Amino acid sequence: MLDEINEIQSDLAQLIRLALAEQTEDVRLFVARLVRKYRNTDPELAEQMDLYLRAKAPRSSTPLRKAAAQPVLPTQTLPVDDESRLSLLKVFKDEPSREQPLLSLDLEETLSQLIQERRQTERLASMGLSPTRSAIFVGPPGVGKTLTARWLASQLGVPLYVLDLTAVMSSLLGRSGSNLRAALDFSKRDPCVLLLDEIDAIAKRRSDDADIGELKRLVTVILQEVDEWPATGLLLAATNHAELIDPALWRRFDLVINFKAPAMPAVKQAIKRFLGQDYALFGRWIDILAFVFNGESFSDIERDLQRFRRAVALSTASDADLIEEFVKSRALVLERQGRIDLAVLLAKQTRLSQHTISDITGVSRDTIRKYTSEQPPIAKKPSKRKPDA
């Protein structure tokens, strides 16, 4: 972990050194190297860098092979904040084969309707209708709002532009409005999905900031833009804080889509998906994992499972040790009944001794015995205790 950070720090330092020396070509080469380097460990970052690399045409006559082969953004350069030079828009161009996020049934239906509307605009038009132009995604962090925007764009065969509101707002006083407009104007030119991500960032600042006027102007720009957004594109916004959104803004979106933390069946699906090929190894723990992950976001579940997979891959721990330790840490925060349920589950589904289960859950062996004998396992063998073999 520390090595990783050191490594990133030295990459960053090197990049800054090259950039400040205005050695553009060296910067490009260095970034190309970083793309290859991070492709396995951090594919999203690598992809992002790759897109930046290709977005700007190389000046020299010896372009990178890759950039020459697939000029992704040949015509327009991306809008950039004058001061920070931060790119205001992140670009994603994904294949339609991109895996669908895990979605609840009603969410899936809503999105499928959205996609159908876009695929059959002419049919709609013949009846004097236009497709849904805008939608706002609401829900806790890590449940797939950004991911779903990306998937939607891939399904519609258009790029996804993500507007980084932090970059917009970090620009100098008086300029964020025009930055925002530049970004939106750019997005309006060609069919795309534009995501105003974490749109509450503006609202959040409003309470603790002196330049209220500036923020109000920003909100005004957004309000206008939502109103004037062309039906050729799909305008999305996402927020973790519904309560912070200006009611006037709220009303302007055609559709409000609620994202929720996954329910039990989705938790199990998520565990399967995130374990990938390691499901073969961890699969026997699935009910126990689902029990302790219940109520958590997809991204939290993914993070923990990735950690397990890395540990197992490097043989730093066995799957059983990992799970035991993990379940023990989770048991600490459970109510008594939750710990008892967990103990019963462990007794039924694992070969752990009652002693170990008691140690993991903090439930006494007497209690475990009582509960497991009251509810004999549905298994064929009518034994009270799970055999230890």
Ligand X SMILES: Nc1ncnc2c1ncn2[C@@H]1O[C@H](COP(=O)(O)OP(=O)(O)O)[C@@H](O)[C@H]1O
Task: List contacts with ligand X (CB under 6 A).
Answer: 101-103, 141-147, 238, 298-299, 302
- Shortest Å distance, C-beta 70 to ligand X: 24
Please name every residue paired with 195 in a beta bridge, in sequence order, or none if there are none: 162, 236
Q: Does 187 bind Mg ion (CB under 5 A)?
A: no
Question: How many CA atoms does the CB half-sphere of 118 hold within 13 Å?
Answer: 25
Which range binds Mg ion by CB under 5 A, 70-78, 118-126, 144-152, 372-380? 144-152
Among ligand X, Mg ion, none, what does residue 298 contact (CB within 5–8 Å per kind)? ligand X
Q: Does 146 bind Mg ion (CB under 5 A)?
A: yes
- Shortest Å distance, C-beta 101 to ligand X: 4
- Shortest Å distance, C-beta 238 to ligand X: 6
CA–centroid distance for 364 within its chain: 40
Of the pair 161, 282, the CB lying nearest Mg ion is at: 161
Among ligand X, Mg ion, none, what does residue 330 contact (CB within 5–8 Å per kind)? none
Strand order in the sheet with 160-164: 89-92, 160-164, 193-197, 234-239, 134-138, 255-258
Of the pair 89, 340, the CB lying nearest ligand X is at: 89
- Shortest Å distance, C-beta 255 to ligand X: 17
Of the pair 54, 145, the CB lying nearest Mg ion is at: 145
- Shortest Å distance, C-beta 163 to ligand X: 14
What secondary structure letter does DSSP report for 344?
H
**Crossing angle between the packed helical segments 43-55 and 24-38, to the nearest 10 degrees:** 150
Two tokens, residue 218: 């920003």
- Shortest Å distance, C-beta 71 to ligand X: 28
3-state helix, strand, coil in the chain (%, to 5): 60, 10, 35
Question: Cβ(234)–Cβ(272) under 8 Å?
Answer: no
Ordered DSSP codes for 180-197? HHHHHHHHHHSS-EEEEE
Among ligand X, Mg ion, none, what does residue 319 contact (CB within 5–8 Å per kind)? none
Of the pair 144, 159, the CB lying nearest ligand X is at: 144
Please name every residue paired with 235 in a beta bridge, in sequence order, or none if there are none: 134, 194
Give, as ranges, the residues between 255 and 294 that touch Mg ion (CB under 5 A): none
C-alpha 155/C-alpha 271 separation (Å) is: 25
Where along the sequence are the contacts to Mg ion (CB under 5 A)? 145-146
